[in-house]
Copies of this chain bind each other. A is one copy, B any other.
Amino acid sequence: MSDAYATLIERVKEIGRLEAIEQLLDWDQETYMPPKGVTGRAETVAMVAALKHEQRTSAEMGDLLGQVGEDDDPVRATNVRETRRLYQRAVRVPTELVREIAHTSALAKSVWAQARADSDFKAFAPLLSKLLELRRSEAEHIGYEGEAYDALLDEYEPGASTAEVAEVFADLRGQLVPLVRAIAQAPQRPDFSILQRHYPRPGQEEMARKFAGEMGFDFQAGRLDVSVHPFCTSMSSSDVRFTTRYDEHYLPAAVFGVMHEAGHGLYEQGLDPEHAFTPRGQFVSLGVHESQSRMWENLVGRSRPFWERHFAWGQTVFPQALRDVTLDEFYGAINTVAPSLIRVEADEVTYNLHIVVRFEIERDLLNRGIDAADIPEAWNQKMTELVGITPPNDAEGCLQDIHWSMGAFGYFPTYALGNLYAAQFFAAAKKPIPDLDDRIRNGDLRTLLDWLRTNIHRRGMRYRANELCEVVTGAPLSTTPFMEYVNAKFKPIYGLA
């Protein structure tokens, strides 16, 4: 068994290195690749993906997994469990289907981009319908306990079940919808336009680097660059790269964008290098990853203590924009809540409702409750009901996100799960660190990071997300910490009881 395990780990690390190469190709394409470099790049990326798939599904891999059996050692058990999961997901799906999904997605991405530009859902519907059929067929091959959506969700949030997610989201919906309505009719509103004044780029760069550095991001083991769509990627825990974009008339894009991506980056830098390129040294799930980015962006970055520390300095960086602004006005502005059409621009309170809309539609689609053609109607009706705003067109409605065009059904829930985990983890951190707010107010972000390192980052995939939540917070995932957080934060800002 020991030999088989050692060989298995060697193979797993090779796959991990191929993934690191994929990350580098992707980072390069978004940052420094010259425009014409795109020629042939897709084939190189496809070749690496094919190599990875070959290695993941090889006969040798199957033999090794057959030999290693069960193991009590938690490191071995984690590595075997996750390697087996990925092996089974991969071998159960016929190569022909994998190829058809890849081909259809590639096509759908460009058709979607055009359909969005034209706000013409009908042009996208046939391919979307085909992608749905293909992914449903994939789910049937993979297998599931409850419903087909489980098999897709598992790709992004291993171990999560649709039923559990649905229950949590129904609860969330029930509590958030009234809060959003109350805020919409609130007696006082912050002045959001403060953030749309002129914020020169050099100051934004200085602020972004300062905040990421104070969060504990190690720039000797990572980089910050510029790209059209901000992202964070990792070649290893000692090479983590994130990006941002700068808008001189919208301060939050860079400042909170950087805290968000640096939050992802801290997770990657905090993974255990001893277990590099193996599941024990990799992140738990997209939901847990998002909990790290959202915690730093929102629970820290949009908190009052954080700006009590930094606002006076911020005024010296942007004297023109902030000279006549008070801390309270600024704090209100960065915490403006308002029903809006676009998910990526949504505030902390409405954001999760955008996700609930998508989740309910995805689940209905997979369960054949509705067809692809029904999406615009379902979308607009749910947006009106949940968020309180009706999209005037599909470009600002059901065509806004790229995910479905990539066949990524089951991805959206991880965003909302991330918000919930963030609040629950943050509340748990306050038990051993009761003075956390004071620490943030005094510029000590290290204590929080150390807690995250110990309780989350260094554990890699030792636990599934729901287990990790129990181990770290003493309770399963619930909406309570999140709702307590938003109620405590936003009601005072909006003058609500």
Residues of A within 8 A of B (CB): 14, 17-18, 20-21, 24-25, 28, 32-41, 43-44, 47-48, 51, 218-223, 225, 235-236, 238-239, 241, 273, 276-277
Q: How far is the CA of A236 from the CA of B43 in the complex (A)?
A: 12
* Residues of chain B contacted by A17 (CB below 8 angstroms): 43-44, 47
**Which of the residues B34, B41, B47 comes within 8 Å of A221, measured between beta carbons?**
B34
Q: How far is the CA of A225 from the CA of B235 in the complex (A)?
A: 21
**Which of the residues B24, B36, B47, B236 comes within 8 Å of A238, measured between beta carbons?**
B36
A-B contact pairs, 30 of them (CB 8 A): A14-B47, A17-B43, A20-B44, A21-B21, A21-B25, A21-B48, A24-B24, A24-B25, A24-B28, A32-B32, A32-B223, A32-B225, A33-B239, A34-B221, A34-B222, A34-B239, A35-B220, A36-B218, A36-B239, A37-B221, A37-B236, A38-B238, A39-B238, A39-B273, A40-B236, A40-B238, A40-B277, A41-B239, A44-B235, A51-B51
Task: Indicate if the CB atoms of B28 and A238 lie closer than 8 Å.
Answer: no
Task: Indicate if the CB atoms of A39 and B222 lie closer than 8 Å.
Answer: no
Nearest Cβ distance between residue A239 and chain B, in whole angstroms?
Answer: 3
Nearest Cβ distance between residue A45 and chain B, in whole angstroms?
Answer: 10
Q: Given contacts A37-B235, A37-B239, A221-B37, are A44 and B32 in contact (CB under 8 A)?
A: no
* Residues of chain B contacted by A276 (CB below 8 angstroms): 40
* Residues of chain B contacted by A273 (CB below 8 angstroms): 39
A28's nearest neighbour on chain B, judged by CB, is: B24
Nearest Cβ distance between residue A243 and chain B, in whole angstroms?
Answer: 12
Task: Indicate if the CB atoms of B28 and A236 lie closer than 8 Å.
Answer: no
* Residues of chain B contacted by A223 (CB below 8 angstroms): 32, 34
Task: Indicate if the CB atoms of B220 and A34 lie closer than 8 Å.
Answer: yes
Task: Indicate if the CB atoms of A238 and B48 lie closer than 8 Å.
Answer: no
* Residues of chain B contacted by A218 (CB below 8 angstroms): 36
Q: How far is the CA of A48 from the CA of B51 in the complex (A)?
A: 11
A14's nearest neighbour on chain B, judged by CB, is: B47
Nearest Cβ distance between residue A87 and chain B, in whole angstroms?
Answer: 20
Q: How far is the CA of A21 from the CA of B52 in the complex (A)?
A: 15
Q: How far is the CA of A37 from the CA of B219 in the complex (A)?
A: 10
A39's nearest neighbour on chain B, judged by CB, is: B238
A273's nearest neighbour on chain B, judged by CB, is: B39
Interface centre among A40, A235, A273 (most CB of B within 10 A): A40
Nearest Cβ distance between residue A269 and chain B, in whole angstroms?
Answer: 9
* Residues of chain B contacted by A239 (CB below 8 angstroms): 33-34, 36-37, 39-41
* Residues of chain B contacted by A235 (CB below 8 angstroms): 37, 41, 44
* Residues of chain B contacted by A219 (CB below 8 angstroms): 34
* Residues of chain B contacted by A28 (CB below 8 angstroms): 24, 28
Q: How far is the CA of A222 from the CA of B36 in the complex (A)?
A: 8
Q: How far is the CA of A38 from the CA of B51 in the complex (A)?
A: 24
A45's nearest neighbour on chain B, judged by CB, is: B17
Q: Which 3 pairs show the lowest CB-CB distances between chains A and B?
A: A37-B239, A36-B221, A36-B238
Interface centre among A24, A34, A41 (most CB of B within 10 A): A34
10 extra A-B contacts, CB within 8 A, seeds A33-B239, A34-B221: A17-B43, A17-B44, A21-B48, A24-B28, A34-B219, A34-B223, A36-B239, A39-B273, A40-B276, A44-B235
Task: Indicate if the CB atoms of B51 and A236 lie closer than 8 Å.
Answer: no
Q: How far is the CA of A41 from the CA of B36 in the complex (A)?
A: 27
Q: How far is the CA of A38 from the CA of B239 in the complex (A)?
A: 8
* Residues of chain B contacted by A222 (CB below 8 angstroms): 34
Task: Indicate if the CB atoms of A220 and B36 lie closer than 8 Å.
Answer: yes
Q: How far is the CA of A77 from the CA of B202 in the complex (A)?
A: 57
A31's nearest neighbour on chain B, judged by CB, is: B32
A241's nearest neighbour on chain B, judged by CB, is: B34
* Residues of chain B contacted by A20 (CB below 8 angstroms): 44
Nearest Cβ distance between residue A277 and chain B, in whole angstroms?
Answer: 8
Nearest Cβ distance between residue A181 and chain B, in whole angstroms?
Answer: 47
Nearest Cβ distance between residue A88 and chain B, in whole angstroms?
Answer: 25
Q: How far is the CA of A18 from the CA of B20 in the complex (A)?
A: 14
